[in-house]
Structure 1
Amino acid sequence: MRRLALAVFGLCFYSSYASAWWDEGHMRIAAMAWDQLTPAARAEASRLVRMNPQYFSWMIAIPQPYDGSARDLDRYAFIRAAVWADDIKEMKDYKDASTKDNAKTETAGRNIGYSDKLIHGYWHFKDIPYQRDGSVPPPADPVDAATQIKAFTAALPKAAGMSDDIRSYDLVWLLHLIGDVHQPLHSTALFTKEFTAKWKAQDKPDQGDRGGNEIMVTPANGDPVNLHAYFDGMFGGYSTVYGAIFDTFDKSGNPYLPPADGTEAAITDPDVWVTESNKLAIDTAYAAPVLDANGNVVQQAELTRQYETKARNVSKLQIPLAAARLAHLLNEALK
């Protein structure tokens, strides 16, 4: 009952944010990636995570492990750090209303470490337009999840000459963003004339359906939710680190989810990752009954068993794939 209550609390608390997979999914990706790191990468990642401003808060709050085993502080911090990029949305220091923070400003793609107090919400996605009914989407943003994954990856090796403060900052963003781009609706925005008219009436730039945030659906539990949140919450909402570990591995330490395909895991180009997710969004997230036979949005569509089963199966493959790619990236960057 406690786990169910926490999941419901998380669903309510985070439903207004575009934070892929919510806490549980991001931490499960990090937990699976940790097990695939080389000793050298694990040691360096742990050293860098300790420099995060929230590290001591994480350590103070650490509970006894669910199975009573000895605390592995480095593993705990690595998994917990995967959620930091969402945590800052609620931190007072990151709520400077006088700071214009969008993808088209000069500061949008900067990489200056923890002195940067911008939330950078546009770093969490890359919306490839999915065009319907002849609508014309706006030009793509110059800064997005893919551009930042590339920038942070390039800066992470010691040979790049960046300070440890920047490298730590880049690492915790990578822990999060690689999970983000493997959530199909962080790769796609549906554009229709209906959405264009809606944004125009509000005197705002055309954002399409904002990756499913403008489409309401009703899953089998009967509780209406926007389509984006439905996919974000596929693995639950709020969770502790040990809760995420418990949900990821059996008593022998083997993951419940199937391992990633080796060929797919070896793909290192973030643009390819986003393109893959975009295809999954079109084939899965925007499938019937979300869109009707004519390609029109069905608001408040009742999701079928077939739809929900496919959505969950796709998500189950994306989590270990994101983990394998994250581990590969860190093993190369932190040799």
Structure 2
Amino acid sequence: MFFRQVTGWLCLTLALFSSNPSAYGWNKPTHMAIGAIAYHDLQSASPQTVDRVVTLLRQHPYYQRQWLPLMDSLQLPATQRDEYLFMLAARWPDDIRNRDPYHDKPNWHFINYIYAPKQGMARTDTTLATGETILQAYAQNRQILTSPAPDSAKAVALCWLFHLTGDVHMPLHTTALVDPQFPQGDKGGNLFRIKVMMSSPTSNLHSFWDGMLLHTDTYASVDSMAVGEQRDFTRKQLPQLGNPDVTAWSKESFQLAQDNAYRSNTLQPGTAQEGSLLPPDYVATVRPIAQRQVALAGYRLADELVTDLGS
């Protein structure tokens, strides 16, 4: 029935689309901040969960050869090392992109719900085919974390849960805009060419959302962002925290993409040579939304860790 309801170009899209280019969710510093939010939240609410997470992360395949030497080189004091491990865990799946074929899973970072506004369509019951989605990956890694698997495998799964919790809260990691300009989807905004200002180089909508909040990955800058997020968005201000379902989180993000990232299809893409200028109020409007999503991700990650590791 679905395929009979859409035009030929959308049918062709659903039948043929099978890949997505490498696309990061939040940039690495923002993922690190999500990890830091979870750390701070757990330090006060469930310190035993922090201990369990740190114990597992010390069994990660990258701990001895990369993470520990890095912390030594940064001369991080003992009081900061546990938090920094949370930060490293959250960014690790992006650090290994195209570098570690064994652990790298490009399709795990997103799901392409179909947003075809010219057809009056926004579907969460149908997705563009891309292999395993972020929802399947989340379930798989949570299963590993709560299984009798070796601690090294659990540590890898733990990093994926850190990272995927962040990615699913980035609106453009749940959405494919499908229309005559993008008959195979705009790949989560990666093909949607924009300029922030007339003097800015042409970029894309996905990259803009990726790096909107934080650009430096030092411990101090990331920790400062995490503290600010928790000050500006307390748990009491986020009633969505009552829903622990990752599928529901993805649908929240999909709605935000439609209403805010694409502005209900009023945002116009440019060309590869010349991006379309964002509306004057765009940045000021979407930045608080991105900040709220990051806070939600950090708190939800903390809650998931308590559920899976706190007992």
TM-score (norm 1): 0.75
Q: How far apart are the structure 2 equivalents of 1:287 and 1:298? A: 15
1:28 to 25, 33, 55: 33
Q: How far apart are the structure 1 equivalents of 2:128 and 2:148? A: 34
2:90 matches 1:82: yes
1:132 aligned partner, one-letter code? P
1:27 aligned partner, one-letter code? M
Q: How far apart are the structure 2 equivalents of 1:209 and 1:135? A: 17
- Relative to its length, the structure with more helix (as a share) is 2
On the 8 A contact 2:260/2:286 being kept in 1, the answer is yes
The equivalent of 2:181 in structure 1 is: 194
Quick one: structure 1 residues 192 and 79, their matched pair in 2 at CA, closer, same or farther if it must change by over 3 Å?
same
After TM superposition, the structure 1 stretch with the greater mean CA deviation from structure 2, 238-247 or 30-39, is 238-247
**1:183-206 deviations in whole A, cap 9, x for unaligned?**
00001010012222xxxxxxxxx3
2:290 matches 1:315: yes
Please give the secondary structure, in 1, of the residue aligned with 2:187: coil
On the 8 A contact 2:238/2:296 being kept in 1, the answer is no
Please give the secondary structure, in 2, of the residue aligned with 1:331: helix
Unaligned runs of 5+ in 2: 1-20
Shift of 1:291: 2.7
2:271 matches 1:282: no
Shift of 1:256: 4.5
Unaligned runs of 5+ in 1: 1-15, 95-116, 197-205
The equivalent of 1:105 in structure 2 is: none
TM-score (norm 2): 0.81
Q: How far apart are the structure 2 equivalents of 1:170 and 1:213? A: 27
The equivalent of 1:155 in structure 2 is: 144
On the 8 A contact 1:129/1:191 being kept in 2, the answer is yes
1:332 to 279, 300, 307: 307
1:150 aligned partner, one-letter code? A
Quick one: structure 1 residues 170 and 193, their matched pair in 2 at CA, closer, same or farther if it must change by over 3 Å?
same
Please give the secondary structure, in 1, of the residue aligned with 2:169: coil
Quick one: structure 1 residues 70 and 45, their matched pair in 2 at CA, closer, same or farther if it must change by over 3 Å?
closer
On the 8 A contact 1:290/1:298 being kept in 2, the answer is no
The equivalent of 2:133 in structure 1 is: 144
Quick one: structure 1 residues 313 and 162, their matched pair in 2 at CA, closer, same or farther if it must change by over 3 Å?
same
2:224 matches 1:246: yes
Quick one: structure 1 residues 264 and 168, their matched pair in 2 at CA, closer, same or farther if it must change by over 3 Å?
same
On the 8 A contact 2:193/2:202 being kept in 1, the answer is yes
**1:195-253 deviations in whole A, cap 9, x for unaligned?**
22xxxxxxxxx3x0000000111113723211000000012345123331133326xxx
**1:153-190 deviations in whole A, cap 9, x for unaligned?**
23322xx3222222111100011010001000001010
**1:261-310 deviations in whole A, cap 9, x for unaligned?**
45311211111000000000001111178635xxxx44422112321111
Q: How far apart are the structure 2 equivalents of 1:186 and 1:138? A: 12
1:183 to 144, 162, 170: 170
Aligned alpha-carbon RMSD (Å): 2.4
2:88 aligned partner, one-letter code? R
Q: How far apart are the structure 1 equivalents of 2:95 and 2:27? A: 11
On the 8 A contact 2:84/2:219 being kept in 1, the answer is yes
The equivalent of 1:272 in structure 2 is: 248
> Structure 2 matches for 1:1-335, cutoff 5 A?
17-37=22-42, 38-56=46-64, 57-62=66-71, 63-64=74-75, 71-91=79-99, 93-94=100-101, 117-134=102-119, 139-141=128-130, 143-157=132-146, 160-196=147-183, 206=184, 208-220=185-197, 222-249=200-227, 255-260=230-235, 261-287=237-263, 291-292=267-268, 297-299=269-271, 300-334=275-309, 335=311
Shift of 1:257: 3.5
Q: How far apart are the structure 1 equivalents of 2:264 and 2:116? A: 16
On the 8 A contact 2:98/2:104 being kept in 1, the answer is no
On the 8 A contact 1:218/1:303 being kept in 2, the answer is yes
Shift of 1:86: 0.6
What count of residue pairs does the alignment treat as equivalent?
275
